[in-house]
């Protein structure tokens, strides 16, 4: 259950890799927003730059409008877009790690709220350090605090997480399109998951990955956010109308698994498996590579105004995530799948609409994440300006590897668990705390108790979540020690 729940969550984590300096985590942020909203345009990057977002890129409004920056309302909206995405569909299943009764929802939502608050705090911390060092991107912040010689760490983190994100995208495409094909009555090879992966990857994703600019995909931003809110509404309707309870019109043998409550553990418990939930839920808020851009794009930027933007956006996102968890797990219990819409009946027209929306969003967001992977590889190869032949060869090779892995793997649970524990904890807690620690040490004075708590303490939290999360994931995958 735990590994399964994390497979879709990986999407959230890995999207961050799409751009360390600017726009990155989550499908929704990779887009051009409406007038006066910070906009993201593909210019190439990864360890160096993949998506570039700035107020200067904002809609046609002239120099005055560009210099004005993004209003607080626009920044809140855009940050919500950056946090929320298709990966949120995995959150209901995370509750399965601690229990199989509806009583497990409350502690899980409590953990979600805690992770959201801590993530908002460290996101703000990055903005504060950008203000202190007068830098505008993640890499320059690393160079100003930790040192320029180790910027490869950022490129490596982005490359790994984006690679896994692309695999997750390809797998989800296979699941969604094959399910919709079955709903349409398609049979045989055309209804197989492998056919969906190869078909969509080859006919849609690959051509887009070879484009020099993906700015035309800006529409996926609002579409992604709209899809999340529509999904929450549908899940709420099905939670309250009883369609999936005994006697409900959609409870039949065609379901992946019948809703189940209390059949396995008949209770909930915050034990060692809580670390699985912490890893999964914590990564839902992984948008921290974007913090420098949001701070510098803010109109009349200041730390207090930035803090208000961050707290508001993370608060809204936490509320949306909580609703999805309540409605999803509350409907299916321990049978909740990593992608909650896999649970809904194929004859459920509202669920079908959600699958269509998510399939559309995932398909056209996959190429954006792929740009991050490609640029990350070039950064590690120290080839910021590769030739067209090299570019084509790398794109072809990466697509082949990603597609091949997606065809072989049926469940990215273990890989996702490792990635969530390792990369999520590092980016959300360790990196921001390290920035602040190095910055304070540059002042040449002893740290106060509060400064030690906000630096060493957070780094300790990140370290514990990383070590324990990875250990539990490995033990669960390869041994029977955890049951």
* Rounded alpha-carbon distances, angstroms, from residue 158 to 106, 144, 413, 436: 33, 19, 20, 21
- Radius of gyration from C-alpha coordinates of the chain: 21
Rounded Cα distance between 286 and 455, Å, is 19
Under 8 Å between Cβ of 48 and 375: yes
Contacts of 185 (CB under 8 A, 6+ apart): none
Mean pLDDT, rounded, for 342-347: 87
The pLDDT value given to residue 29: 33
User: What's the CATH number for 2-478?
Assistant: 1.20.1740
Q: Is 35 exposed, middle or buried (0-12, 13-18, 19+ CB in 10 A)?
A: exposed
Give the model confidence (pLDDT) of 242-290 as tens digits: 999 988 999 987 787 889 898 877 788 888 788 777 777 766 788 888 8
Is the pLDDT assigned to residue 450 strictly greater than 80?
yes
C-beta atoms surrounding 252 within 10 Å: 11
pLDDT top residue among 450 and 475: 450
Percent with pLDDT over 90 in the chain: 32
pTM of the predicted structure, to 2 decimals: 0.78
Q: Residue 42's beta-bridge partner residues?
A: 51
Closest by CA position to 362, among listed 229, 235, 472, 204: 204
Task: Report how far Cα 189 is from the mean position of its chain's Cα atoms.
Answer: 32
Is the pLDDT assigned to residue 115 strictly greater than 50?
yes
DSSP-assigned letter for residue 175? H
Q: Which of these ranges, 38-52, 150-164, 223-237, 404-418, has the smallest mean pLDDT?
A: 38-52
52 — pLDDT class (breaks 50, 70, 90): very low
The pLDDT value given to residue 425: 84
87 — pLDDT class (breaks 50, 70, 90): low
Backbone φ/ψ region at 433: left (φ over 0), alpha (ψ -120 to 50), beta: alpha
DSSP-assigned letter for residue 457? I
Give the model confidence (pLDDT) of 160-194 as tens digits: 878 888 888 898 888 888 888 887 888 888 889 99
Is the pLDDT assigned to residue 34 strictly greater than 50?
no
Rounded Cα distance between 238 and 375, Å, is 42
Rounded Cα distance between 319 and 328, Å, is 14
The pLDDT value given to residue 304: 94
Structure tokens at 205: 């994703």
pLDDT top residue among 59 and 305: 305
Rounded Cα distance between 204 and 346, Å, is 25
Under 8 Å between Cβ of 400 and 187: no
Give the model confidence (pLDDT) of 321-330 as tens digits: 999 999 999 9
Structure tokens at 252: 């039949």
Rounded Cα distance between 480 and 477, Å, is 8
Give the model confidence (pLDDT) of 360-405 as tens digits: 878 888 888 888 889 889 888 888 789 999 999 999 999 999 999 9
Task: Report how far Cα 110 is from the mean position of its chain's Cα atoms.
Answer: 20
Is the pLDDT assigned to residue 2 strictly greater than 60?
no
478 — pLDDT class (breaks 50, 70, 90): confident
Task: Give the burial string for 197-218 (b: 16+ CB within 10 Å, else e).
Answer: bbbbbeeebbebbeeeebbebb
At 462, is the secondary structure helix, strand, or coil? helix
Query: What are the backbone angles phi and psi of residue 482, rounded to the nearest 5°?
Result: -95, 5
Q: Which of these ranges, 6-10, 211-215, 366-370, has the smallest mean pLDDT?
A: 6-10
Rounded Cα distance between 81 and 90, Å, is 17
Under 8 Å between Cβ of 346 and 183: yes
The pLDDT value given to residue 392: 93
The pLDDT value given to residue 132: 93
125 — pLDDT class (breaks 50, 70, 90): very high
Closest by CA position to 455, among listed 434, 470, 431: 434
Under 8 Å between Cβ of 51 and 42: yes
Q: Which of these ranges, 138-147, 302-311, 389-398, has the smallest mean pLDDT?
A: 138-147
At 95, is the secondary structure helix, strand, or coil? helix
Domain ranges (residues) in the chain: 2-478
């Amino acid at each position: 259950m735990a590994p399964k729940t994390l497979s879709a969550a990986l999407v959230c984590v890995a999207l961050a890799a799409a751009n360390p300096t600017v726009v990155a985590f989550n499908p929704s942020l990779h887009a051009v927003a409406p007038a006066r909203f910070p906009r993201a345009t593909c210019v190439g990057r990864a360890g160096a730059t993949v998506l570039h977002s700035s107020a200067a890129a904002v809609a046609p409004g002239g120099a005055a409008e560009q210099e004005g920056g993004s209003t607080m309302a626009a920044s809140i909206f855009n940050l919500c877009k950056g946090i929320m995405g298709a990966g949120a569909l995995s959150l209901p299943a995370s509750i399965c790690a601690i229990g199989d009764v509806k009583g497990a929802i409350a502690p899980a939502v409590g953990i979600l709220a805690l992770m959201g608050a801590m993530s908002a705090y460290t996101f703000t911390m990055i903005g504060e350090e950008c203000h202190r060092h007068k830098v505008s991107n993640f890499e320059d912040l690393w160079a100003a605090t930790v040192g320029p010689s180790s910027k490869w760490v950022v490129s490596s983190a982005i490359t790994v997480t984006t690679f896994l994100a692309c695999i997750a995208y390809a797998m989800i495409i296979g699941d969604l399109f094959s399910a919709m094909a079955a709903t349409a009555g398609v049979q045989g090879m055309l209804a197989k998951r492998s056919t969906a992966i190869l078909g969509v990857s080859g006919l849609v994703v690959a051509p887009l990955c070879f484009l020099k600019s993906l700015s035309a995909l800006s529409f996926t931003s609002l579409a992604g956010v709209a899809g999340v809110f529509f999904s929450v509404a549908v899940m709420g309707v099905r939670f309250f109308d009883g369609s999936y309870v005994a006697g409900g019109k959609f409870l039949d043998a065609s379901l992946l698994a019948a809703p189940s409550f209390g059949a396995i553990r008949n209770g909930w418990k915050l034990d060692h498996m809580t670390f699985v939930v912490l890893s999964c839920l914590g990564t839902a808020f992984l948008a921290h590579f974007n913090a420098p851009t949001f701070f510098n794009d803010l109109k009349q930027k200041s730390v207090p105004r930035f803090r208000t933007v961050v707290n508001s956006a993370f608060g809204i996102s936490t509320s949306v995530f909580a609703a999805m968890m309540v409605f999803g797990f509350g409907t299916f219990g321990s049978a909740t799948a990593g992608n909650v819409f896999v649970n809904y009946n194929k004859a459920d027209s509202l669920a079908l609409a959600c699958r269509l929306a998510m399939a559309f969003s995932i398909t056209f967001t996959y190429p954006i994440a792929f740009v991050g992977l490609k640029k990350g590889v070039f950064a590690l190869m120290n080839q910021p300006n590769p030739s067209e032949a090299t570019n084509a060869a790398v794109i072809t090779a990466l697509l082949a590897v990603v597609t091949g892995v997606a065809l072989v793997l049926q469940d990215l649970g273990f890989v996702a668990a490792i990635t969530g524990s390792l990369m999520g904890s590092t980016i959300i807690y360790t990196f921001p705390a390290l920035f602040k620690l190095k910055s304070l040490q540059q002042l040449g004075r002893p740290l106060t108790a509060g400064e030690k708590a906000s630096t060493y303490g957070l780094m300790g939290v990140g370290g514990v979540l990383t070590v324990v999360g990875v250990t539990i994931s490995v033990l669960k995958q390869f041994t029977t020690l955890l049951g």
